[in-house]
């Protein structure tokens, strides 16, 4: 009686990685958010702070091209380090190129040049 041949096909383990962004003393793990409804965002990213209070912030690029973060800094001032880091990596437009949701002119924010170490 013949026995079925064993499959020699190996199942490769899933390959995972984590992107870490450092800003001053803070370190963030950054993940792209999948499955976002296209009316909500063209792209979105989650920042999980690895230091301090381990806060979590979401940044979204709207289909109209403006960028929002739900951190207190962006909510209060309209810009923040999370958006700056994504812009430095080319994931979202840089601040001067981002329209405001209401179409009003965007104030000039201090320019931050990224240093990649």
- Of 2, 29, 23, 13, whose CA–CA distance to 81 is shortest? 23
| Alpha-carbon torsion (94, 97, 100, 101), positive or negative | negative
Candidate residues 30, 41, 67, 71; the one interacting with Zn ion per rule CB under 5 A: 71
Q: Find all residues with CB under 8 Å of 76, minimum gap 6, and list them.
A: none
69 binds Zn ion (CB under 5 A): yes
Q: Least distance to Zn ion from the beta carbon of 70, Å?
A: 7
Binder among 61, 82, 85, 98 for Zn ion (CB under 5 A): 82
80 belongs to the binding site for Zn ion (CB under 5 A): yes
Nearer to Zn ion, 41 or 69 (CB): 69
Q: Is 61 a binder of Zn ion (CB under 5 A)?
A: no
Nearer to Zn ion, 61 or 71 (CB): 71
Minimum gap (Å) between residue 38 Cβ and Zn ion? 22
Sheet of 19-23: strand order equals: 19-23, 26-32, 43-49, 56-61, 67-69
């Amino acid at each position: 009686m013949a026995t079925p041949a064993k499959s020699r096909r190996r199942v490769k383990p899933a390959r995972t990685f984590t992107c870490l962004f450092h800003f001053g003393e803070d370190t963030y793990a950054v993940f792209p958010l999948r499955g976002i409804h296209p009316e909500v965002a063209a792209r979105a990213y989650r920042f999980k702070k690895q230091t301090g209070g381990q806060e979590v912030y979401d940044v979204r690029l709207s289909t109209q091209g403006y960028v929002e973060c739900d951190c207190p800094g962006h909510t209060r001032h309209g810009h923040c380090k999370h958006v700056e880091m994504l812009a430095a990596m080319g994931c979202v437009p840089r601040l001067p190129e981002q329209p405001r949701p209401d179409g009003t002119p965007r104030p000039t924010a201090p320019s931050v040049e990224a240093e990649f170490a």
